[in-house]
């Protein structure tokens, strides 16, 4: 039989995890390859990049999407297990589980509809005819992978400690070109003693100006009073520039407030934080690289 697509794999993967034990993706792949009666050749068939087996990759995507619907969870690095929601779904004895099934869960709907700075929304492949050109399909696939990565990054950041989050913020700003060296920048975190400031970082290598930081690892949106408190801390230190970073979002009142004050305060919400981490390679690494080539007209010119 042909290698099943990731949606076909969803229900068997969920049933595999029904024992409520912690499992690895490799373990699941081995068991499911037997259930799907895949030949050794099919198990070993690689992606076009040669990076990893197609079936392993599709099991991974099935796990990712089930995770976004909160049917699976990852209690530890590289491990996953079923959640109560996943168990409850299996009790309904579904005949299939696919993207349409997952739409009933608000977390998955939010994941699918989440706006992206460079695309209208995540596009999930369906069985409908795709009219895009190969290049357009490649762009869509890239953006889907990037959006999924951004969501996974944000989930990880929200689960880390406040101290780790503050260090992450400093590393990101240094990667963006602020603060000189990471060693110099890191010394500033938690040293100010001001309740409204988590750290101070140089704006440039010479330290001609400084930027004050506030890092909030929150679930709820940051409201105007929190920004007012930060602005007051800047004023008390005769500072003009600040960056307020949160894992959640800012209320409209908070965003409007920073437009009315003399201090220059930049607000970075969770989505933008994840995008910046991807752009500046903080907490991520390159998995594979594809080269898109075109004809070199000059080479074939005989003039």
Residues of the chain with pLDDT under 50: 115-118, 120-131, 187-194
Give the long-range contacts of residues 118-122, CB within 8 A, separation 24 or more.
118/143, 119/143, 119/147, 122/147, 122/148
- Residue 56 CA to residue 182 CA, distance in Å, equals 38
Environment class of residue 247 by beta-carbon count within 10 Å: exposed (0-12), middle (13-18) or buried (19+)?
A: buried
For the chain, the domains span: 6-113, 162-279
* pTM flag (> 0.85): no
Domain 6-113 falls in which CATH fold? Arc Repressor Mutant, subunit A (1.10.10)
- Residue 103 CA to residue 122 CA, distance in Å, equals 13
Please report the pLDDT score of residue 110 as a whole number.
87
Please report the pLDDT score of residue 303 as a whole number.
65
In 3D, which of 273, 220, 219 has the Cα closest to residue 243?
Answer: 273
Please report the pLDDT score of residue 69 as a whole number.
96
Range 162-279 has CATH code 3.40.1350.10: yes
Q: What angle do CA 23, 24, 27 make, to 5 degrees?
A: 90
> Phi-psi region for residue 160, left (φ > 0), alpha (ψ -120 to 50) or beta?
beta
């Amino acid at each position: 039989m042909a290698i099943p697509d990731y949606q076909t794999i969803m229900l068997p993967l969920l049933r595999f995890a029904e024992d409520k034990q912690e499992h690895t993706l490799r373990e699941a792949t081995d068991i499911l390859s037997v259930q799907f009666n895949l030949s050794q050749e099919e198990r070993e068939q690689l992606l076009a990049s040669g990076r990893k087996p197609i079936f392993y990759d599709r099991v991974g995507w099935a796990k990712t999407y089930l995770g976004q619907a909160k049917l699976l969870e990852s209690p530890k690095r590289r491990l996953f297990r079923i959640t109560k929601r996943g168990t409850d779904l299996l009790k309904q004895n579904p005949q299939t589980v696919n993207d349409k099934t997952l739409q009933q869960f608000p977390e998955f709907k939010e994941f699918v509809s989440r706006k992206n700075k460079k695309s209208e929304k995540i596009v999930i492949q369906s069985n409908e005819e795709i009219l895009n050109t190969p290049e357009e399909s490649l762009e869509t696939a890239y953006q889907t992978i990037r959006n999924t990565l951004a969501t996974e990054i944000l989930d990880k950041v929200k689960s880390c400690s406040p101290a780790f989050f503050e260090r992450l913020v400093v590393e990101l700003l240094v990667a963006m070109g602020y603060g000189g060296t990471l060693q110099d920048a890191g010394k500033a975190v938690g040293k100010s003693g001001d309740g409204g400031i988590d750290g101070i970082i140089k704006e440039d290598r010479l330290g001609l100006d400084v930027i004050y930081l506030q890092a909030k690892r929150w679930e709820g949106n940051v409201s105007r009073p929190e920004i007012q408190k930060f602005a007051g801390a800047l004023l008390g230190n005769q500072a003009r520039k600040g960056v307020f970073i949160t894992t959640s979002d800012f209320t409209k009142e908070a965003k409007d407030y920073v437009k009315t004050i003399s201090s220059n305060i930049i607000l970075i919400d969770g989505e933008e934080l994840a995008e910046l981490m991807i752009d500046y390679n903080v907490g991520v690494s390159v998995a594979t690289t594809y080269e898109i080539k075109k004809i070199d007209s000059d080479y074939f010119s005989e003039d």
